[in-house]
Amino acid sequence: MRVEAKLLLGLGLFFGLMCAVYWNWSLENAGGVMMFAAMLLGFLPGGYYYFWSRRMRARPEDDPNATAAQGAGVVGTFPGTSIWPFTLGMGAFFTVLALVFGIWLLIPGLGLVGWAAIGGVSESRRGGRV
């Protein structure tokens, strides 16, 4: 986790310095704000990873001498197949088309989004289907 944390913290630091130079020199706010936000995107997750990297043992993927057996075991839960991403995508599609062709398209749009939200969540709870 060390390298990951340092990468993000380093980027945050660089953006912070760049932001300070730019904002003070140009006095232009839009770019200054956006650079400041970029700095936060480096520091927030970077700080979180740094915090944890000091408290946990090196994972097998961080250990240069790890054997494949060391990583054996459950990696994670992976869904097999699922219809809900497609449903959600279609909902988003209709929602965006509502911006152009008329507000009535929000009915199928948000309807599908809601259906997919419920379906997707309960699928994860049950442990999946299909």
Partner 1 sequence: MTDLLERPAAAEHPEPAEQHGPTGLLKWLTTTDHKVIGLSYTITSVMMLVIGGALAELIRAQLTSPNNTLVSFAQYNELFTMHGSVMIYLFAGPFAFGGLANIIVPIQIGAPDMAFPRLNALSYWLYLTGSITMLLGFFTAGGAANFGWVAYAPLSNSLNTPGAGADLWIGGLLLTGFSAIFTGVNLVATIFYLRAPGMTMFRMPIFTWNLLVTAILILLAFPVLTAGLIMLYADRHFGTHIFSVAGGGVPVLWQHIFWFWGHPEVYILALPFFGMATEIFATFSKKPVFGYKGMVFATITIAALSLGVWAHHMFTTGVVLLPFFSIMSLLIAVPTGIKIFNWIGTMWRGQLWFSTAMLMAIGFLVTFLIGGLTGIYLASPPLDFFTHDTYFVVAHFHSVVMALVLAGMGGLYYWGPKVTGYMLNERIGKAQFWFLFIGTQVFTLPMYALGLDGMPRRMAVYPHDPQWKALNDVASLGALLIGLSTVLFVVNLVVSWKKYPAGDNPWDAQTLEWFTTSPPPHHNFYRLPAIRSERPTWDYNHPEHRALGHGTREESH
> By the criterion CB under 8 A, which residues form the site for partner 1?
3-4, 7-8, 10-11, 14-15, 18, 21-22, 25-26, 28, 30-31, 34-35, 38, 41, 49, 60-86, 88-90, 92-93, 96-97, 99-101, 120, 127-130
Residue 17 beta carbon to partner 1: minimum distance, rounded to whole angstroms: 10
Residue 57 beta carbon to partner 1: minimum distance, rounded to whole angstroms: 13
Which tokens hold the place of 53?
Answer: 């990297």
Nearer to partner 1, 48 or 107 (CB): 48
Residues in the chain: 130
Residue 115 beta carbon to partner 1: minimum distance, rounded to whole angstroms: 14
3-state secondary structure of 12: helix
Q: Determine contact, residues 71/117, Cβ cutoff 8 Å.
A: no
Q: Determine contact, residues 130/82, Cβ cutoff 8 Å.
A: yes
Nearer to partner 1, 90 or 107 (CB): 90
Q: CA angle, corner 90, sides to 84 and 93, nearest 5?
A: 145
